[in-house]
Amino acid sequence: MNGPAPLTIGRREFVWGARTFVMGIINVTPDSFSGDGLGTDIEAAVGQGLRFDAEGADILDVGGESTRPGAGDTGAAEEMRRVLPVIERLSRQIDTPISIDTSKAEVATAALKAGAVLLNDVWGLRHDPDIANVVARSGVPAVVMHNQRGRPFRDVIGDIGEGLEASIAVATAAGVPREKLIVDPGFGFGWKEEHNLEMLRRLGELKSLGLPILVGTSRKSTIGAVLGLPVEERLLGTAASVALAIANGADIVRVHDVKEMLQVCRVADAVVRGWRPEEAM
Active site (catalytic) residues = 220, 254
DSSP lists the bridge partners of residue 255 as 24
Q: Quick check: helix, strand or coil at residue 63?
A: strand
Q: What is the C-alpha to C-alpha distance for residues 80 and 69, in angstroms, rounded to an integer?
A: 21
Rounded to 5°, angle at Cα 23 from 19 and 28:
175
Buried b (16+ CB within 10 A) or exposed e, 129-153: eebbbbbbebebbbbbbbbbeeeee
| DSSP output for 258-279 | HHHHHHHHHHHHHHHT---GGG
Per-residue CA distances from 29 to 25, 26, 79, 80 (Å): 12, 9, 9, 11
Question: From the CB of residue 13, how many other CB atoms can be counted at a distance below 10 Å?
Answer: 10
Our measurement of the distance from residue 114's CA atom to the centroid of its chain's CA atoms, rounded to an integer in Å, reads 20
Our measurement of the distance from residue 135's CA atom to the centroid of its chain's CA atoms, rounded to an integer in Å, reads 16
Our measurement of the distance from residue 21's CA atom to the centroid of its chain's CA atoms, rounded to an integer in Å, reads 11
Q: Is the dihedral of CA 25, 261, 97, 49 positive or negative?
A: positive
Answer yes or no: are the C-beta atoms of 233 and 243 closer than 8 Å: no
Q: What is the C-alpha to C-alpha distance for residues 35 and 43, in angstroms, rounded to an integer?
A: 18
Structure letter (DSSP) for residue 60: E
